[in-house]
Structure 1
Amino acid sequence: MVPSGQLSPATRPDLPRPEIEILELGDLTPGTGPPRPFLLDADLLVLVTDGHGIAELDFRALPCRAGTLLRATPGQVLRSPTRLDAIVVRWRADALRGLDVDPAAVPQHHQLVGEDEDAVINEVSQLVVDHRRHRDDPAAHALLRHQLAVLLIRLALLPGAAQARRTPDDADPQRTELVTFHRFRREVEAGYPYTRRVEDYAARLGCSVRTLTRACLAVTGRSAKQVVDERVALQARRLLAATDEPVARVGRQLGFPEPTNFGRFFTREVGVSPGAFRAARDRPPSRIGRPRRPADPATPDGQA
């Protein structure tokens, strides 16, 4: 069993955040009333220890019960509308500096079973115990960093994650499209607040719009323009759900000087107006819009 009880308290805003923290799920969204969507500013691992229901990650309802693992990254929106007991490991990016580990290889949503569940629970339990005993001792920082790295490596070796890590060999006819798609996604991630023109991304990558569209269709079944628009719409949903920024300001942040243009774009992509989407954030998950499926390649069983 994962140790429970006194975990580290929620971080005080007037103090620097530690490299690694151990929290409970309720620490992320303190207060009374229905849990609001929470915009993450650090990497998280969530291990559900009791209860069953759902957790929302970027507006996707993920089934959870004891042994469910969630991985979330900065910028995503998390909400747990049902009561779940869970251990949360939160860390800053520099906590893994110099260590040969890739958190992106950890599945976003995985149900642990059998020996994998036992091994992960043991790793988390030891990290919780050592964090509780040594978090204020600078000499123990290396111990906690390496324990986190070992945990992430173990999670990256889970069956579904191992399958997702496989990359096409040089003989695979889809290799070029996959590489182009991932390069395109990286450019979109950096540039979506400034441009939605596929021509701009093609120029940055030194290829044609046709090449980008062919790659996106091969990997996701959607055009390059749809991939860009879906990323902008995702960020709009995040900001509308997890902040109180005025709708017009959210639109300006995403490159829409005119609120009416933002409203039309959002309604087309999400299916409801920005105001209606924001009003639904305190309702059950089924009432918070029906966005398109994210522009990600298909993932194997056991992952989100």
Structure 2
Amino acid sequence: MVDRTIQGGDGIDTFPFPVELSVGGVGMQVAPMGDTWPSGGPLERVHRIDFHIVLLFGAGPVRHMVDFTEHEAAAGDLLWIRPGQVHRFSPTSEYRGTVLTMQPGFLPRSTVEATGLYRYDLPPLLRPDTSQLAALQAALTQLRREYEDTATLPLSLHTAVLRHTLTAFLLRLAHLAASSAEAPRQRSDSTFTLFRDAVERDFATNHSVSAYADALGYSRRTLVRAVRAATGDTPKAFIDKRVILEAKRLLAHTELPIGRVGVAVGFPDAANFSKFFHQHTEQTPAAFRAELR
């Protein structure tokens, strides 16, 4: 991936996009996985990135943690990790395949919106079917060919061609993400969509299922049915998972005292926050933070 890091005050390394390592200094790279990052050491610790990574696996299984969730990828699967997400490479997995990295700002805003580059609600692990995989592999092969061809066009045109070719690949990838197993269920019911958006907006201050139901104009029973159909969880479990994810991010990314982390996710009382965190993770907040250092 990179050969330089920024050490955060929280002890977690941030890997910046390595412009100096990309061919021609453009804001993207595409290469075999083994050629793109050093082996061992820091990458096996929790770290974060400030750019996009798309991994197309040529072999498996590979276990990879993204935002504190372990994913197991097989040959032909893709893993899409977005800027700011915490992740960790597995020391026991062999990473084989192709990796695409992209610097934020390399593509114009219209393309960013069309491709859903910042859809953090979509699952990172994608499993294309045979025809989707063939199309994605062909698009990625063409992108790599254009990326490595620096002789036939001046840099400005080379960069423009890369942007267009990258857009074609990302549009296919975005379609796969939107039609993946989790996404259509989440988008099929407007009741759940409204609830999900409300939770994303208010989870730090509102943990009450009844309050969300009242604000959205639904009965509690209607909300329970919609959320269970979309996710398999109850509304309360959905809210709690979002709160826990934010708490983990704050514990990992910042040096806020644990009590302040609790306040940031809606627990004015530090003891109640610690009890809630332990109930859902089987760890205290302090133990979770210490494990990442």
Q: Do these two structures clear the TM 0.5 threshold for a shared fold by scoring above it?
A: yes
RMSD of the TM alignment (CA)? Answer: 4.3
- Stretches of structure 2 that go unaligned for 5 or more consecutive residues are 2-14, 20-24
Letter in 2 for 1:22: Q
Q: Which residue of 1 aligns with 2:99?
A: 87
Offset at residue 267 of structure 1 (A): 0.9
Report the AA paired with residue 54 of structure 2.
Answer: L
Q: Write out aligned runs for 1:113-262 (5 A).
A: 116-131=132-147, 137-156=155-174, 161=179, 178-241=189-252, 243-262=254-273
Which residue is 1:11 aligned to?
Answer: 17
Q: Deviations over 1:49-69 (max 9, x none)?
A: 567531112333222355431
Which residue type is aligned with residue 150 of structure 1? A
TM, length-normalised to structure 2? 0.68
Q: Secondary structure at the match of 2:102?
A: strand
In structure 1, give the amino acid aligned to 2:282.
G
Aligned length: 265
Aligned residue in 2 for 1:53: 62
What's the counterpart of residue 297 of structure 1? none
Q: Do the aligned partners of 2:60 and 2:74 also contact (CA within 8 Å) in 1?
A: yes
C-alpha distance 244-118 of structure 1, shift in aligned 2 (>3 A): farther
Aligned to 2:277: 266
Give the 5 Å matches for 1:34-49. Answer: 35-49=44-58
Q: Which moved more, 1:99-108 or 1:238-247?
A: 99-108
Match of 1:32 in 2: 41
Mark the runs of 5 or more structure 1 residues left unpaired by the alignment.
169-173, 283-304
Match in the other structure for 2:82: 73
Aligned counterparts of 1:239 and 1:159: Cα–Cα separation in 2: 27
Query: Is the Cα–Cα contact under 8 Å of residues 38 and 79 in structure 1 kept in the other structure?
Result: yes
Q: In the alignment, which residue of structure 1 is the partner of 2:6?
A: none
The one-letter code sitting in structure 2 at the alignment partner of 1:152 is L
Q: Which moved more, 1:262-271 or 1:105-114?
A: 105-114
SS of equivalent to 1:87: strand
Rounded to whole Å, the distance in 2 between the matches of 1:28 and 1:253 is 35
Higher relative contact order (CA 8 A, sep 6+): 1
Deviation at 1:238, TM superposition (A): 3.0
1:73 positional shift:
3.5
TM-score relative to the length of structure 1: 0.66
